[in-house]
């Protein structure tokens, strides 16, 4: 039986830490320094709407002031980019989040590039050198914290990441490298995926393919982190076939209740860091 890494419980601790940090910032610099987050939602996708609601609640619990801007599905790319520009230049706005996915007529790449790095609460524009890693992409930062809380030191371990997206797979591989792991990154063109995953001491899966990883693809005693979030008949399902993999793994994250709540908690960590930077800059 694997130890289940409880993302919800760790996320509650992270939220409490951020709340403490927010209040300390306000105590030192005044109410105007309170962290805030502007959440932009384009369209009416129910999952995105729900995520924005959850993120808003998380902010409130952590002493961060949320503002939600909801735009219609037909909002043009130009109008959205103008809004981002306005938010970038508004000194009262400390951090910006644009809920993904956006409708197809809007370029995600252009949109993410438009958000000023000093307000990018998702950490998508984080630089890849270790010196600038205090604002990290949320999901990889969340995974690193979960590993730490579970007592897993990746130094010298073989970590296999399935997925190479700019927002999860690539920054995940970099965070592991920064922590002295030996890293293999797999993707949709990888030949013999199972041969790679079977060699993993720590397997991190972010492919967006429901139950892609089955027991035969996992080494006995491996640590398995499931980033995937897929919906089957309205139910959340990870990229790992939990029921078959769990007995083989030494530790595993569930879906839901694993990486998801931790990613959201790391948004709060970044919001606090951005507000702290802004407050120091205004001194």
Residue 114 CA to residue 147 CA, distance in Å, equals 32
Estimate the share of the chain in helix, then strand, then coil, as percent rounded to the nearest 5.
45, 15, 40
CB 33 within 8 A of CB 26: yes
Among 259, 267, 268, 269, binds ligand NDP (CB under 6 A): 259
Judged by CB under 6 A, does residue 37 bind ligand NDP?
Answer: no
Q: By CB under 6 A, what part of segment 59-118 binds ligand NDP?
A: none
Judged by CB under 6 A, does residue 270 bind ligand NDP?
Answer: no
Tell me the closest approach of the beta carbon of residue 85 to ligand NDP, in angstroms.
Answer: 25
CB 201 within 8 A of CB 159: yes
* 99 in catalytic set: yes
* 283 in catalytic set: no
Which of the residues 15, 55, 157, 219 is marked catalytic?
Answer: 55
Which of the residues 6, 122, 239, 241 is marked catalytic?
Answer: 122
CB atoms under 10 Å from CB of 75, counted, come to: 18
Write phi, then psi, for 151 (nearest 5 degrees).
Answer: 80, 20
Tell me the closest approach of the beta carbon of residue 177 to ligand NDP, in angstroms.
Answer: 17
Residue 153 CA to residue 162 CA, distance in Å, equals 20
The alpha carbon of 210 is separated from its chain's Cα centroid by a whole number of angstroms, namely 19
Residue 29 β-bridge partners = none
Judged by CB under 6 A, does residue 121 bind ligand NDP?
Answer: no
Write phi, then psi, for 132 (nearest 5 degrees).
Answer: -110, 30
Which of the residues 6, 15, 99, 248 is marked catalytic?
Answer: 99
Part of the chain binding ligand NDP (CB under 6 A), chosen from 21-29, 55-63, 81-89, 225-233: 225-233
Q: By CB under 6 A, what part of segment 203-222 binds ligand NDP?
A: 206-209, 212
Annotated active-site positions, please?
A: 55, 99, 122
Which residues contact ligand NDP (rule: CB under 6 A)?
Answer: 139, 162-165, 167-169, 186-190, 193, 206-209, 212, 227-230, 259-260, 263
């Amino acid at each position: 039986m694997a130890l289940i890494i409880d993302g919800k419980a760790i996320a509650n601790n992270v939220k409490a830490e951020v709340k403490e940090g927010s209040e300390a910032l306000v105590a030192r610099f005044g109410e105007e320094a309170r962290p805030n987050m502007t959440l932009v939602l384009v369209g009416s996708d129910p999952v995105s709407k729900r995520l924005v609601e959850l993120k808003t609640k998380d902010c409130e619990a952590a002493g961060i002031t949320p503002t939600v801007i909801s735009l219609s599905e037909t909002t043009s790319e130009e109008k959205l980019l103008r809004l981002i520009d306005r938010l970038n230049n508004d000194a009262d706005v400390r951090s910006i989040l644009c809920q993904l996915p956006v409708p197809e007529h809007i370029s995600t790449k252009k949109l993410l590039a438009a958000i000023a790095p000093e307000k990018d609460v998702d950490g998508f524009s984080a630089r890849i050198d270790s010196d600038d890693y205090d604002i990290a992409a949320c999901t990889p930062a969340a995974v690193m914290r979960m590993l730490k809380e579970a007592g897993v030191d990746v130094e010298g371990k073989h970590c296999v990441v399935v997925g190479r997206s700019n927002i999860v797979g690539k920054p995940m591989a970099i965070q592991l490298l920064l922590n002295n792991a030996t890293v293999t990154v797999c993707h949709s063109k990888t030949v013999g995926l199972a041969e790679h995953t079977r060699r993993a001491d720590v397997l991190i899966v972010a492919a967006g393919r429901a139950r892609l990883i089955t027991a035969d693809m996992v080494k006995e005693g491996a640590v398995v982190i499931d980033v995937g979030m897929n919906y089957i008949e309205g139910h959340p399902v990870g990229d790992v076939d939990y029921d078959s993999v769990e007995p083989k793994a030494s530790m595993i994250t569930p879906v839901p209740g694993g990486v998801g709540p931790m990613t959201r908690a790391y948004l709060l960590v970044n919001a606090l860091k951005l507000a702290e930077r802004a407050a120091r800059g205004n001194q």
